[in-house]
Structure 1
Amino acid sequence: MQTDMKKSLLKGIEWMLLLFLIFLFLMPIVWVMASSFKNAGELFSWPPSLFGKNPSLDNYRKALEEGSFGVYFFNTVFTSLTATLLTVVVNVMSGYAFAKYHFKGEKLLFGVVLATLMIPLEVIMIPIFKVIVATGLYNSLWGLIIPAVASPTAVFLVRQYYMGIPDAYMEAARIDGASELNILMRVMLPLAKPVVSVLCIFSFMWRWNDYLWPKLVINSKERYTIQLALANYSGEYSVDWNSLLAMSVISMIPVILVFITLQRYIIGGMTAGGVKE
């Protein structure tokens, strides 16, 4: 009897701790979303209220009508989707090659790829910027996309995932007369849906939320991404908090949708990436 009471008490404490952590992580997001419906007076009123006395969509209407949010949104969507697509193509093929094909110097080459993980982005940012300028990609959306395509982290995840898939699938396909490209596209790629989904989520989130690199590469407002546009709401002497909050909420929606769509693959993809045959 006492044992059951102790278990129930411990379970109750665990649930209370879990609910507290959920509240701790979600409250800032809920507060930003609720505050986006307040007017300027209610935003800093005391005592604070969640939605205010007269919630409205004026902040969203003002931000959409007065700014070029549609242009910024398109630039961000194009950059994020294109970079994600190219990231998946390049890194899946690279990781697959390291996992399933053996060639002279493969371990050395893979070691070099892993070694780049230890180099901070700030160290190579200036050389990459010089390459972007020299190739004529400065102030271009492609200057945001191309440097982000090759990712040593993505190569490592894909390689480790494919290491856990038996070579028997490839051998059976070769016996049936399939080419190496068909084996990759029709046999091995469908088996890698979890890790591909993880790459899609991470790549999309990185590109969507990136601020520093677009700040260096983009110079004209018509090519601004959402993060650069949000920074413009902060003036020298004042901040347009109402428009900033409204646009921040809109900018969160695509990331949330992508995460909800593919989140079931995250745990499976990350854990399977550490398995070897």
Structure 2
Amino acid sequence: MEEEHGITSLFEYFEAYDVFQQANDPNEFRDYVASIEYDLGLLFQVAPVADQDIVLVSLNPGLQQNMSPSIFEGTREFARRWPYEDDLEALAQTIARNLDGYLTSATGFKRILPRLHSELDIISSPNEIPYENWIHTETVAPNEPNVLSEMYFTRVYKFPTYGKGPLTTDDMAFGRRTLQNELQTLLDPQLYVCTGMDAWQAIHDLFIERGYEIKPRNESTLIRDSFKFYEEGGAKGGLYEVPEADSWILTTKHGSYPVNTDRLESNIRYLNAHL
């Protein structure tokens, strides 16, 4: 689009393909998109961004400090690079299927998501949309609520796969900065659900850098660098309020692994009563 058509922004793309004319108020929509200055990268995100009230924050599943980039080359869990050459559609389908299975079938997420759906009033009532329909978006009519319209999933694949050798400290820091930039430029949610230590530390630092106070709730403890269970003085299984941002942070183990469901349920019930 950039080289052949001179299109460098979302505004120019909408203008070229008459998207504005499809809106109820074309001029208002055109002014809105022009004021935001989205770049073309947004066209290539798997999950939609629609100002959801809940953000599920996660970095690479099971990522270890000594993980070699080669692990991304065709493994079932990560599926970062597949031998499709220039077939972008086939590659996108593979990653989308991988992401869907990761969020709906991973050991932790298949315990986290149903509890959020059944307990939080800011999510559609289970009586309105059964969980199996809510989580499998293809079974829901386009205008009905579903997991993607009510929750935003941060992009999982953030780390470089070039060269040889293990991911470095700089690589890890790059991934965290990417996550922080994604959140602060696109979203203003009521709830951050952080799965894993890296997600928790990224969100913690984001609020601290803004000068906001993070307050522990429901007998949680607030320690950035300790991701032990809350009764051991850590942030695993924690609940925190950020009053100045009108936001909450719910923390659990990484979604790839079993979570403490009793503590998770307690935090969700407390959260729902105070939202």
Is the shorter-chain TM-score for this pair beyond 0.5, marking a shared fold? no
Structure with larger Rg: 1
Higher-helix-fraction structure: 1
Q: TM-score, normalised by structure 2?
A: 0.24
Q: TM-score, normalised by structure 1?
A: 0.23
If asked which structure has higher relative contact order (CA below 8 Å, sep 6+), I would say 1
Higher-strand-fraction structure: 2
